[in-house]
Chains A and B, each alone.
Chain A
């Protein structure tokens, strides 16, 4: 197993490249979900205000 990790002495380079690949894809996976959360909270706020305005004017 250890020689597999050593990668013929270039372990640091190979594994750092794969780490960058995985981390970048993880960020790409999370970004839309975080944005979706923000959209939901914005929409919720706007609906609440709209309901309050309707009650006030009704």
Chain B
């Protein structure tokens, strides 16, 4: 077994996963907020006003990274769901279910900031723009996975059922995106491209990329934190979990 599979195998065992992520978590959160602040500073202060939308376009520095993140979270969920269903690895089951609420949060942020951005640009809060509509359908996919996971009593079975739904959903995401854009071109009444400012020059690009990196780091910090809690809940019968939760005293009775 070469070092990579050994590492991966070790990472799969709950106590080690718990310890490693517990040590990693503060660093991840700290670096995410640090990079985020730098990006926000770049986007809000340094970047010049857009000649067409003046300062309203600065919503892009929140809207676009969250849109990318909502898709990334779904892929992360789907990959873990696949591993969980095929190799029955408990950790990837938990990671898949932990990433669903985070993806839903980022999708909700995208929708909210998108509709707020639409108000000054188009005069109405909600526009049936192709990307916003497919983002809304993505939110329903997330709600479906979370709803199914909470509806079933037994945690392991719930995770497997919701993982299967996530896999079915992953096929659906590109199809929805394609059909919505086709639907949008069919009714090509909509005018200017809402989501991008007329042109992206470098002074706007690097804050955007920094914020995208910050959201990705934040995602891993949050998915590890949530996974650790569900792991403790699932393994509360075992000694390692009890000693991790209640201090070494409680473990041996």
Contacts and interface: CB of A to CB of B under 8 A. Distances in A.
Do A and B interact directly, with beta carbons closer than 8 Å? yes
B45 A17 contact: no
B229 A39 contact: yes
B49 A8 contact: yes
B127 interface: no
A32 B236 contact: no
Given A24-B105, A31-B226, A40-B246, A17 B233 contact: no
A32 B226 contact: yes
A36 B116 contact: no
Contacts of A54: 253
B58 interface: yes
Interface in A15-58: 16-18, 20-21, 24-25, 27-29, 31-33, 35-36, 39-40, 42-44, 46-47, 50-51, 54
B82 interface: no
Interface residues of B, number: 40
Nearest to B106: A24
Contact of A10 (B56, B113, B218): B56
B120 to A, nearest CB: 5
B229 A13 contact: no
A54 B253 CA distance: 10
A41 to B, nearest CB: 10
Residue among A9, A11, A21, A50 having the largest count of chain B Cβ atoms under 10 Å: A21
A8 B54 contact: yes
Interface in B205-253: 218, 222, 225-226, 228-229, 232-233, 236, 241-242, 245-246, 250, 253
B84 to A, nearest CB: 20
Contacts, number: 95
A39 B232 contact: yes
Interface in B177-230: 218, 222, 225-226, 228-229
Interface residues of A, number: 33
Given A40-B246, A43-B246, A9 B222 contact: no
B29 interface: yes
B246 A7 contact: no
A39 B231 CA distance: 10
Interface in B110-137: 112-113, 116-117, 119-120
Interface of B: 29, 40, 44-45, 49, 54-56, 58-59, 62-63, 66, 101-102, 105-106, 108-109, 112-113, 116-117, 119-120, 218, 222, 225-226, 228-229, 232-233, 236, 241-242, 245-246, 250, 253
Given A39-B232, A39-B245, 11 more contacts: A4-B44, A8-B56, A9-B54, A10-B120, A13-B116, A21-B66, A21-B109, A28-B222, A39-B233, A43-B236, A50-B253
